[in-house]
Amino acid sequence: MEVRMVKVLKDIMSANNTIAAENSRVFNERKVLTCNLMASPGAGKTSFITATYNAVKDRTPFAVIEGDIASQIDADKFAAMGVPVAQINTGGGCHLDANMIQSAINQFGLPDNSILFIENVGNLVCPASYKLGEQLRIVMSSTTEGYDKPYKYPAIFTDADAIILNKIDIAHAVEFDFALFEKGIRALNEQVPIFAISCKTGEGIQAWTDWLMNRKTEIYPGA
């Protein structure tokens, strides 16, 4: 039984990675910089994507794939802003996978030469294992969650291309320990950039979006 379980898991991951590679090919052909945003529920993923969109909308086309267990509340928010958006409901699944993204690409008018944000299901465990075809894996934490997330969920922080620390405007009120948070990350991912931001006040958003646009230019020169 144990051998069968391992084989099934390997088959699932192999199939996912094959589709992820195909998604990556499509994104590269269309020069779409794709960001897989992963965080716990309540960390501020939707607010962060909104703040990012508002900061870059005059410089690049933008789109969102919204992942939730149920509902389309956040997708409706982006649609009301005029952002091309596709909704994925997992029906109880704890993460998005490459097949879901492949299906979503055909659901809406994904603009070429754009930035695409995939808002993954709120979870710091399962999404770490599933590649979607993205170029950037963005991991968000918030001061209200405490400094210990890199210590408790090392896998997702180890593989991150950027770390976002949200809600720094209330860090003092929740007695957040910046030094221990950074120490935990650096033990796992020595060079990853860490952006301390507040979606409420806008602090740190400029530095984050400048980095994002620079990455877009580096990956897709002239796009």
* pLDDT, tens digit, 9 for 90 and up, residues 39-68: 999 999 999 999 999 999 999 999 999 999
What's the confidence (pLDDT) of residue 66? 97
Between CA 147 and CA 157 the distance in angstroms is 13
Between CA 218 and CA 29 the distance in angstroms is 15
What's the confidence (pLDDT) of residue 12? 76
Q: Which residues pair with 38 in a beta bridge?
A: 139
Between CA 89 and CA 97 the distance in angstroms is 12
CATH of domain 2-219: 3.40.50.300
Average pLDDT rounded to a whole number, residues 3-16: 65
Place 9 in a pLDDT band, splitting at 50, 70 and 90.
low
Place 3 in a pLDDT band, splitting at 50, 70 and 90.
very low
Between CA 197 and CA 86 the distance in angstroms is 26
* pLDDT, tens digit, 9 for 90 and up, residues 11-34: 778 899 999 999 999 999 999 999
Place 6 in a pLDDT band, splitting at 50, 70 and 90.
very low
What's the confidence (pLDDT) of residue 5? 44
- What is the model's pTM? 0.94
Domain ranges within the chain, ordered by starting residue: 2-219
Longest dimension (CA), the chain: 56
3-state helix, strand, coil in the chain (%, to 5): 45, 15, 40
Average pLDDT rounded to a whole number, residues 94-118: 95
